[in-house]
Amino acid sequence: MIKPDNRSNHYLRQVSSLLLYSSVLKDKVGFAYLNLLQNLSLLVSEVDRNDRNRNEVLELDCLLAYGKWFKALAKTKQSWQDYLIERILCDSNPFSQQIQTTSVVELPDSLQDAAKHDLKILQSIHDLSGNQVAQLVQSNLATSAEPILTWSMPSANNTCLHNNPNWQDALNDLADHYQQKGTGIFARYSAFRWQDNQLKGIRQPDPIKLENIVGFESQKADLVKNTQFLLAGYPALHVLLYGSRGTGKSSLVKALLTNYASQGLRLIEVNKSELGNLPVIVEQLADVPQKFIIFVDDLSFEEDNDAFKSLKVVLEGSLTAQSQNIVVYATTNRRHLIREYFSDRPRPSDSDEIHNWDTVQEKLSFSDRFGLTLTFEPINQDTYLTIIHHLAQQAQIDIPQSDLDFRAKRWATRKNGRSGRTAQQFISFLRAEISLKETSGFS
- For residue 218, being part of any structural domain is answered with yes
Least confident of 138-147, 156-165, 317-326, 357-366: 357-366
Q: Which of 301, 73, 100 has its CA nearest to residue 184?
A: 100
Provide the pLDDT for residue 318: 54
- Residue 1 domain-assigned (yes or no): no
Q: Which amino acid is at 132?
A: Q
Q: How many CA atoms lie within 13 A of 218 on its CB side?
A: 6
Cα separation of 13 and 1, whole Å? 26
Interval 74-97: pLDDT, tens? 999 998 999 999 999 999 999 999
Residue 117 has pLDDT above 90, yes or no: yes
Given a cut of 90, is residue 136 above it in pLDDT? no
Average pLDDT, stretch 398-404?
A: 91
Domain end residue (candidates: 361, 376, 391): 376
Q: Is the pLDDT of residue 36 over 60?
A: yes
* 131 and 164 part of one domain: yes
In this prediction, residue 83 carries a pLDDT of 93
Predicted confidence band of residue 371 (pLDDT cuts 50, 70, 90): confident
Q: Are residues 94 and 177 in the same domain?
A: yes
Q: Let me know whether 197 and 326 are in one domain.
A: yes
Arithmetic mean of pLDDT, 107-124? 96
In a domain, 428, yes or no: yes
Strand-strand pairing, 198-201 and 239-243: unpaired
Percent share of the chain, pLDDT over 90: 46
Residues 6+ away with beta carbon under 8 Å from 219 = 241, 252, 374, 375, 376
Number of domains in the chain: 3
Domain assignment of residue 423, yes or no: yes
Which domain covers residue 112, as residue numbers? Answer: 7-183
Closest CA to 184 of 26, 29, 69: 26
CATH label of the domain that carries residue 272:
3.40.50.300
For residues 167 and 203, state if they share a domain.
no
- Measuring CA to CA, how many Å separate 250 from each of 278, 299, 336, 373? 19, 11, 18, 14
pLDDT-derived band at 358 (thresholds 50, 70, 90) equals very low
| 197 and 275 together in one domain | yes
**Shared domain check, 252 and 385:** no
- Do residue 298 and residue 365 come from a single domain? yes
Torsion of CA 262, 265, 269, 272, to 10 degrees: -160
Instruction: Looking at the structure, tell me whether residues 406 and 369 fall in a common domain.
Output: no
**Each residue of 200-242: pLDDT tens digit?**
999 999 999 998 888 889 999 999 999 999 999 999 999 999 8
- Residue 346 to residue 17: CA distance in whole angstroms: 71
Identify whether residues 216 and 246 lie together within a single domain: yes
Share of the chain above pLDDT 70, in %: 84
- Full DSSP string of 181-193: H-STHHHH-SEEE
Residue 404: what pLDDT? Answer: 93
The pTM (predicted TM-score) of the whole model is 0.78
Bridge partner residues of 240 (DSSP): 330, 373
Same domain, 169 and 202: no
Read off the pLDDT of residues 258-270 as tens digits, 9 standing for 90 and up: 999 989 999 999 9
| Residue 87 domain flag | yes
Q: Is residue 241 part of a domain?
A: yes
**Residue finishing a domain among 355, 376, 397:** 376
Sorted by sequence, the CB contacts under 8 Å of residue 362 that are 6+ apart come out as none
Residues 122, 218, single domain; the answer is no
Cα distance between residue 382 and residue 163, in whole Å: 55
**CA angle, 180 as apex, 176 and 186 as ends, to 5°?**
125
- Distance, CA of 95 to CA of 102 (rounded, Å): 10
Question: Helices in 334-419 by DSSP H: which ranges?
Answer: 356-364, 381-394, 401-414
Is the pLDDT confidence value at 323 over 80? Answer: no
Tell me the average pLDDT of the chain.
84
- Residue 60: CB atoms within 10 Å: 14
> Same domain, yes or no, for 325 and 390?
no
Q: Is residue 359 domain-resident?
A: yes
Residue where a domain terminates, one of 183, 206, 236: 183
Say which residue, 181 or 4, is predicted with more confidence. 181
Q: How far apart are the first and last CA of the chain?
A: 73
What pLDDT shows up at residue 224? 96
User: Is residue 2 included in any domain, yes or no?
Assistant: no
